[in-house]
Structure 1
């Protein structure tokens, strides 16, 4: 009887040990399955990291400049005809083609700021294209040409002119921004700032920046002084308002030494051949 009990006990013990071993093998088996499931994910993550690293490697390095940078900031207004501020569409198209054919890279306001503050450039040939006032033809005539050549440009918009006859609408500006163009400030009412009181100037500069910041969920970096008029108060107030750069109508290439709140521009008038346009861009009158 005792032998029988012992045999039964040994049998149960063997079954118990076997069951434990089976459980262990099953657990190990589960771990193996999990590892197999994780394998492809790890490979995918590795590929993503490698891809990001490759993108960083492929990103062109900005070129340090030995001399202080001189940047041509082109000044357009309307793309039409009729006076000295209006450049016909055919001429504008020829200008953009000249820039493309001659290897110029167009900049955004952010990139232009980096150029001036670091004295580096993404390419040896750079240009900042700007339009004052925000006319409708900037959208209907200039915008298609800019898209054709993959170019950036900046439009200085008057806050109170949005949606008015012959001026850009909200929808048009949204579309242009989505395609890489920038909308910056040309103040609220387009008044000659040097004729205003300090408080009036402050409202025109600070108020328009706050509006464009909120309207486009952006950091508005630039302001163009209406008619190019400004005084010492203007320079200080523009900086206090939070602008990083301001442009005037004073002729010539822009240099940091001019002051970041009083950068010069190259006025583009009607009647310029591509060759004459090129000389202005290159600084050879």
Structure 2
């Protein structure tokens, strides 16, 4: 998008904010009954890649990987912080129990029908682009050669407590997929459409200029979105967007702008972490998924 177009979005930023819709509920998917005379196979092995298949794919959501502050002093900071030791234990558990972290490029390939996913796939996401993403989380992920997705707030890069531009580039080169988390982390459901467009377009432009390749994945700040927010994200050229809602964990290409995530919070015990992963089967393959109940008709990209 041209500089003139971006300026136009910014110029409209003072327009009255639209009245946002209530945060949209996650989709409820209806699985039709089996067809008479048809044989259905259930397998826990990687599936033949079919873009219309639903996959059981937990997407984990982290923020800080640091020693949590006192809950009495900073309750929010405490909840958003997972200690390095706990993060390491969670990654160790995933490794020893046969989980395979994947990124959204791999998920795209699965839905496009060009590559299967491994058994027990899981996506590890880290929001905001704090400096401990580079200094602490990355080395722990590398102990098991895990990939992850980092959602970066472009306007916070090089600010105190956040990753530098060089560190973001190094994360990308280390195999961490970089996604956008807007320019300044506003609630996109409570700003004008022009402002939302500026946030999603400008952050994409900055990150792509830094990395030298497309940035296709987006995370809604605070998980807030409405129909116009989704429209802005799709129009800006993103291919996926994630929320902060924990369920459902069944994902398809058609609902890729509202994929849910599981929060991993400070003080969480390992049994809680395990429960958050949901069922261990990696695909739902008894029938093709009926998407008639989905509130948006989004064209699948191949």
Query: What's the TM-score once normalised by structure 1's chain length?
Result: 0.73
* Distance apart, 1:208 and its partner CA: 1.2
Q: Which structure is larger by alpha-carbon Rg, 1 or 2? A: 1
Q: Which residue of 1 is the match for residue 47 of structure 2?
A: 63
Unaligned residue ranges in structure 1 (runs of 5+): 1-60
Q: Which residue of 2 is the match for residue 278 of structure 1?
A: 274
Report 1 or 2 for greater relative contact order, CA contacts < 8 Å, sequence distance ≥ 6: 2
Output the CA distance in 1 between the equivalents of 2:245 and 2:114. 22
* Distance apart, 1:214 and its partner CA: 1.7
Q: Which residue of 2 is the match for residue 163 of structure 1?
A: 158
1:75 aligns with 2:48: no
What RMSD, in angstroms, separates the aligned Cα atoms of the two structures?
2.1
Q: How does 1:130-279 map to 2 (within 5 A)?
A: 130-252=125-247, 253-256=249-252, 259-279=255-275
Unaligned residue ranges in structure 2 (runs of 5+): 1-44, 70-77, 281-302
* Distance apart, 1:141 and its partner CA: 1.3
Contact 2:79/2:265, CA 8 A, preserved across alignment: yes
Deviations 1:37-58, CA, capped at 9 Å, x for gaps? xxxxxxxxxxxxxxxxxxxxxx
* Distance apart, 1:114 and its partner CA: 2.6
Contact 1:68/1:119, CA 8 A, preserved across alignment: no
Contact 1:251/1:265, CA 8 A, preserved across alignment: yes
Q: 1:87 aligns with which of 77, 82, 91?
A: 82
Query: What's the TM-score once normalised by structure 2's chain length?
Result: 0.69
Output the CA distance in 1 between the equivalents of 2:272 and 2:110. 26
Q: Which structure has greater helix proportion?
A: 1
